[in-house]
Structure 1
Amino acid sequence: MAFDYDLFVIGAGSGGVRAARVAGAYGTRVAIAEEYRVGGTCVIRGCVPKKLLVYGAHFAEDLRDAREFGWDVPKDVAFDWQRLTANVFKEVDRINGAYTNTLESNNVTVIGERATVSGPNEVTLASGRTITAERILIAVGARPHVPDCPGAEHGITSNEAFHLPAVPRRILIAGAGYIANEFAGIFNEFGAEVTLMNRSDMILRGYDEQIRDRLLQISMMKGIQFRFNASFRGIEKLADGTLRVSMSGHPDIDVDCVMFATGRVPNSAGLGLDAVGITLAENGAIPVDEDNRTACPSIYAVGDVTDRVQLTPVAIREGQAFADSVYGNKPTRVDYDCIPSAVFSHPPIAAVGLTEGQAKLKYGTVKVYASDFRAMKNVLAGRNERALYKMVCEAESGRILGIHIIGPDAPEILQAAAVAVKAGLTKADFDATVAIHPTMAEELVLMR
């Protein structure tokens, strides 16, 4: 049977673009459909623009600290939110164009429409046109979860945060994961009064307990307020535009903006998958096997829509593995063990491997090494903020099971260390490595 294409990809985010580009480079006839803009969540409304806001927010502290380093910086410096976001949008536009050019240069047909599955080898575009393909890859990502409470329509998500006309004077952020803590740090540095509420009594579940406690301590010192064990009762919009938030266990709070950062759910609704025998998980995730294949043999899925590990680099790895396996004669499966991650909070967190608690549960006895210090820059600036580095090791062999750090440039420092952990190196290997002095990273090879 002749098909219009060998591969049709639905969704031009990180995973879909990588799969389409690589498959196209192998000589495959590929089309990719995207209803919004090429680049997906990460490029358009996620990690890239958010990281640029993080950079902008750091200048608030850097400008204050600069005085101790001899720079005559005025005490009252002006910040222009609209100028920053306009420049961020320009960069997003540039990357969007670069992604599109990359696809087209690899002979991938880019279709600017929503596509749904209408058969094992057929998709239907929003315009009504049908296209056939030998294989279909679904890479539609995830979307922000919005709590079900009265007045939820008055809140925003991370998608809309970049499009606010100004920095809110008072903002309530619901959630305690990486998105909530990152935006809490961003808006706090830009001068907003930030309150973070969470239905449990902890932040950043899954990260090492000492590391997340250190972030909580520093965040409170910076003026961020926390309301734990709190669930929404409702959000009321008052006559002057103020939002009055009522929650369990705490008094009402009046704010100018409510932002939901309560997780992300697979964006699989309305794709027509039930018609081809694909039953979604309870949260909407598309079940796949180790080769990214769904219950329908001609349909595959990668990225956040599968809800395996919701990280951009993982989606890219999955897209690459799919294309290499199916079209490159290089069978590849993604190894989900020991995936590094980061939280671009203020200060940032980075981690790889098992936490101390996880390691004790798995191995019983472990050895933990730590370094609790003030970065040299913070000392001269008179800033009392302390960094914490932890290394969790197998007791007998010394094999490193996990590294967890909080402090300036933590994600940049951890990337190379993550290679060492993935390779199974030991504490002795780190001890045998000469330190680069003076750096913060040298603490990794000096811990005792």
Structure 2
Amino acid sequence: MRVNKPELGAKQCLIWDQEHETMPRPELEELQLERLQKTVERCYTKVPLYKEKMDALGVKPQDINSLKDLGKLPFTTKNDLRDNYPFKMFAEPLDRIIRMHASSGTTGKPIVVGYTVNDINSWSELMARVYTAAGVTQADIVHNAYGYGLFTGGLGFHYGAERVGAAVVPVSGGLSKRQVMLWQDFGATVLMSTPSYALVLAEQAKEMGVDSMRDLKLRVGFFGAEPWTLEMKREIEEKLNLEAFDIYGLTEMMGPGVSSECPYHDGLHISEDHFLVETVDPDTGESLPLGSLGEMVLTSLTKEAFPVLRYRTRDRTFIDTGICSCGRTTARMKRITGRTDDMLIIRGVNVFPSQIESVILTLKGLEPQYVIVVDRGASYMDDLEVLVECTEKFHAQGDEALEKMQELLGAELHHVLGINARIKVVAPKTLQRSEGKAKRVVDLRELNH
């Protein structure tokens, strides 16, 4: 086990890979350039789409002589990957591919990602970094409630836990009563799931009379795969009595493990020796200085089977290259403020679901279970409706209290968004629960008109 435990700041921070996670930036950038040049060569010679795109721009692999030359390379979009379904983006023949994962494909053909033996090994190492940063060791019991199968979450977390030597309980999603029972019986100390499902499990535990402080040993949780706010993070920590760590990953890059929090919770450390990060203007694609809010763009540096150049993630964030108190020198991405493709334009106003969630979770009496419905009325004006559950205790106060809460939430949302929304506070357990990624937005505008 390659774990280092430096005495830094007010907290003890475990580091899995001291060499790369604390590498001085000049050395890191040298390594990045070396790996970028190899990746560009691989893409140009082995992936027809990249050769076509680079030729159209008049760019050859030998033109990449510094990290500043990254902007010469073409972007990769989700449509590029879908259009080359299933294997045209692979840079290795199928006899070298030992695993495939894929996106959900809910809007068409899925994005298929291949892995070589080396890719799986690198992924396991990166996930070991994630666990170790949160203090997880071989003494822990890891309860994995991420979905197994084509989705990358389950197996990504599974292999990382085994790499650090922890015992894994591969439960996957669903059967919430059994999940809570296993927490108690197996003595799980670590939980991983989507944030929305963590709250479903917390709700289930409460119904079963389980006290998170008395009956459970959970102390750490890893949550991601869907947008979630700081308010929801605090809600999870309070209800499950654990320390919640934000993680980030995407199928197109590898899966979970691109970045994660350390105990200082001051941004997510990007594994920059494996992923080159930049931010761009989401409208023009123009590169922005690090530290500017923009769309995050990622380039893989070590992937063999499925290398990716300048992938437009659609996630809005900014990058901090300052050294963290934990001792890691890798850049940190700040919490995602929204996705450019999740942004709703309502009556000309940009609205992110995370803004609505933040307001909901500031009001005592409301639960973090909500649905945003967008439609067009008879006048063809956009109509925004927010349905949100209240607590059992608040619901017992009667209709007058519910009406006042609806007025209060409507006023708070108007203050934040600048537009009016119809609010409906509903009884507990009224809205549909999700055992994976929660569906928060229902946009009916195109469907009904």
User: Scaled by the length of structure 2, what TM-score is found?
Assistant: 0.33
The structure, 1 or 2, with the larger RCO (C-alpha pairs under 8 Å, 6+ apart) is 1
Structure exhibiting the larger radius of gyration computed from Cα positions: 1
User: Scaled by the length of structure 1, what TM-score is found?
Assistant: 0.33
